[in-house]
Chain A
Amino acid sequence: MATTTYKCPSCGAGIHYKPALKKFKCDYCLSEYTEDEFEKQNPDEGKEHSNFQSYTCHSCGANVVTDETTTATFCYYCHNPVILSGRLEGDFRPKKMIPFSIDKKKAQESFLKWAGNKKFVPKDFTSSSQLEKITGVYLPYWWVDTKAQINYVGEGRNIRVWRVGDREYTETKKYQIIRKGEIDLKNVGEIAFTKINQSLINGILPFRENEAVDFSMPYLSGFFAEQYNITKEEVEPMIEDQINRYYDYLVNGLVNGYDRINTINKGIDIKEEEWNYTLLPAWILTYNYNGKTYVFAVNGQTGKSYGELPLSNQRLAKAFSAIFGVTFLALMVGGFFIW
């Protein structure tokens, strides 16, 4: 299978995408390229190596060993970025992606901001060597765009109450409500990858989905990327569920200004559905403590972080006993003198 290493058009060294610059930058000759310029300089990069059947690093010739779903990685020997372009073809060619805009430094800062002031974490947890392990990964997602015809019929009531003497009058006005039109709903997604904790990934949502761009392979250079291993068919019911829910909310949002609304027919008719295989950026840090793996993730686009910290139970138990003791004594004294 093919591999690709994007090389600097000026000097030929391995080149990385730099989120902070939103450009490609060569670490050796310091040349910078935008994605457009870079694509022009490297025409047909994907096809060029399609005849390669083994994962071979183009920089040093070492064999690249990866998981079977990995599409972008680094050569373990020379650390140049390697893209397994053969795994990004056919059904596995992503349609859309959101490039990284949070770089490694920012992701580390985000982590420290959260974990730095916690008193019950193991000491080496926030060390710099630990922070070095944070990795940028493009995660595969299924996104669906839909178009629906809306033909809403409902009944609204407005109620006015007033008093005259000891009588209370209630005036009810009934309205017939009709809404007809079209609603486009885009980018409803589910993760298409089993090797990562679902709630962890939900924790760094949402992305600014409307900033997604068409897939372009060079963006993967300098990051890890994974292929989907959950098929469309598997996530379809979950996505349908989400879509129905959002359409409900959207249609409800069309009707307002009534005290009471009685929906007769929502009339949501979903006409079109388009599936997009999408790559989304995330910074992931894993930490092994007492036999349990703790994961921390940062949204590669928005910087939103989510995760779980290891907790030293011994130190927590000490704090608990101290608090228990003080409260117990205070309440005993209170019990003796006050109540």
Chain B
Amino acid sequence: MVKSLYRYKITTIILFVTILLLGSLPVLAAKELVIDEAGLLTQSQIEDLNDRLNSLSNEFNMDIVITTTNDTDGKSSREYADDYFDYNGFGVGPDYDGILFLIDMDNREVYISTTGIGIRYLTDQRIERVLDEVFESGLADGDYYGASIGFINGTEKYLRGGIPSNQHIVEEKVNKLTTADVIIALIGGLGVGGAFVVSVKSGYKMKNPGNPFSYSNNSIVNIATTEDRLVDTFVTHRIIPKPKPSSGGGSSTGRSTVHRSSSGRSHGGGGRKF
């Protein structure tokens, strides 16, 4: 009796969990996507933003997060934003799709960090436009709620606009010394040094000009007959082929520049001081 009751309980739990996972996933995924560590927002503002972020996140299947901070532990806004996203379990799917908006009161900078598919939606140019909107809708006046709304509106607009057709990813240059750098420096050093030695050596040995005999100064030309008789004239023609229109080069509008964060993941992003 006890045993069968127990079995019934387990079945119920399994069933319940399955229903939860299958049916009510969107409802249950109501994650906490606004983390106001700096206390810049009121509770109702947080709830309001959280609702909007959740619906947007569910629609595009990524984590769109807003966070604020008063202390970045000495990190730059970019490092802080990237790490916050990586180490707090954000990101959907194997590529950790998501976008994070950071209001960094320590560095006085707002920063948008993109990950996974977010990198492709928010190109460098789009991030700048979103930041424009962030500033216009309140950040300039210290209205952090307005700034957050600006971020959500801007991001939503571009998410709905889709990934631009010319979007491409460019690895940001990292300041580190590779073997190639050393080899280039070595070759360059040898090249410049060698060029110096060659130029000095050539200065110590004059060039041999061969035998620069001036035949015109040592000759007398006496031409009795000079005849240039026109013997034939003819005209030909051809049809000029139309030039093919040249294809345009790549543009920079679709560029998404990426870098690696401390976790080793790839992020896009951009920020602006306020």
Using CB atoms and an 8 Å cutoff, list the residues of chain A in contact with chain B. Answer: 118, 120-121, 150, 156, 163, 166-189, 199, 202-203, 205-206, 208-210, 242, 246, 249-250, 253-254, 257, 305-311, 316, 319-321, 323-325, 327-329, 331-332, 334-337, 339
Q: Which residues of B contact A172 (CB under 8 A)?
A: 232-236
A210 touches B224 (CB 8 A): no
Q: Give the complex CA separation of A179 and B222 in angstroms.
A: 10
CB-CB nearest in chain B for A331 = B185
- A sample of 11 cross-chain residue pairs with beta-carbon separation below 8 angstroms, ordered by A number, consists of A170-B236, A172-B236, A173-B233, A186-B219, A187-B218, A202-B208, A202-B210, A206-B212, A324-B190, A332-B181, A336-B177
A167 touches B231 (CB 8 A): no
Using CB atoms and an 8 Å cutoff, list the residues of chain B in contact with chain A. Answer: 173, 175-178, 180-182, 184-186, 188-194, 196-197, 200-201, 203-206, 208-240, 242
Q: Which residues of B contact A121 (CB under 8 A)?
A: 204
CB-CB nearest in chain B for A249 = B215
Q: Closest Cβ of chain B: how far from A123's Cβ, in Å?
A: 15
Q: Give the complex CA separation of A170 and B206 in angstroms.
A: 49
The answer to whether A178 and B227 touch (CB under 8 A), given A171-B233, A202-B211, is yes
Q: Give the complex CA separation of A254 and B219 in angstroms.
A: 13
Q: Give the complex CA separation of A199 and B211 in angstroms.
A: 9
A242 touches B213 (CB 8 A): yes
A203 touches B206 (CB 8 A): yes
B223 touches A328 (CB 8 A): no
Extra contacts, 20 of them, besides A168-B240, A310-B204 (Cβ < 8 A), are A167-B238, A168-B239, A170-B238, A171-B233, A172-B234, A174-B230, A174-B232, A174-B233, A175-B228, A179-B227, A181-B223, A185-B219, A186-B218, A205-B209, A308-B205, A308-B206, A324-B190, A328-B188, A335-B180, A336-B181
Q: Which residues of A contact B226 (CB under 8 A)?
A: 178-179, 254
Q: Which residues of B contact A171 (CB under 8 A)?
A: 233-235
Residue in contact with B217 in the complex, picked from A156, A209, A311, A334, CB distance below 8 Å: A209
B235 touches A176 (CB 8 A): no
Q: Closest Cβ of chain B: how far from A193's Cβ, in Å?
A: 15
Q: Closest Cβ of chain A: how far from B234's Cβ, in Å?
A: 6
Q: Give the complex CA separation of A307 and B234 in angstroms.
A: 57
Q: Give the complex CA separation of A163 and B197 in angstroms.
A: 55
Q: Give the complex CA separation of A335 and B186 in angstroms.
A: 11
The answer to whether A120 and B212 touch (CB under 8 A), given A167-B239, A174-B231, A335-B181, is no
Q: Give the complex CA separation of A136 and B190 in angstroms.
A: 43
Residue in contact with B175 in the complex, picked from A184, A309, A316, A337, CB distance below 8 Å: A337
B237 touches A167 (CB 8 A): yes
Q: Closest Cβ of chain A: how far from B242's Cβ, in Å?
A: 8
A209 touches B240 (CB 8 A): no
B213 touches A205 (CB 8 A): yes
Q: Which residues of B contact A332 (CB under 8 A)?
A: 177, 181-182, 185
Q: Which residues of B contact A249 (CB under 8 A)?
A: 215
Q: Give the complex CA separation of A324 and B218 in angstroms.
A: 50
Q: Which residues of B contact A168 (CB under 8 A)?
A: 237-240
The answer to whether A242 and B211 touch (CB under 8 A), given A183-B219, A183-B221, A209-B218, is yes
CB-CB nearest in chain A for B220 = A184
Q: Closest Cβ of chain B: how far from A191's Cβ, in Å?
A: 10
B213 touches A336 (CB 8 A): no
B220 touches A183 (CB 8 A): yes
Among B177, B201, B214, residue most surrounded by chain A Cβ atoms (within 10 Å) = B214
Q: Closest Cβ of chain A: how far from B273's Cβ, in Å?
A: 22
Among A121, A185, A308, residue most surrounded by chain B Cβ atoms (within 10 Å) = A185
Residue in contact with B193 in the complex, picked from A186, A203, A307, A327, CB distance below 8 Å: A327
A176 touches B213 (CB 8 A): no
Q: Which residues of A contact B211 (CB under 8 A)?
A: 202, 205, 242
Q: Which residues of B contact A325 (CB under 8 A)?
A: 189
Q: Closest Cβ of chain B: how far from A211's Cβ, in Å?
A: 10
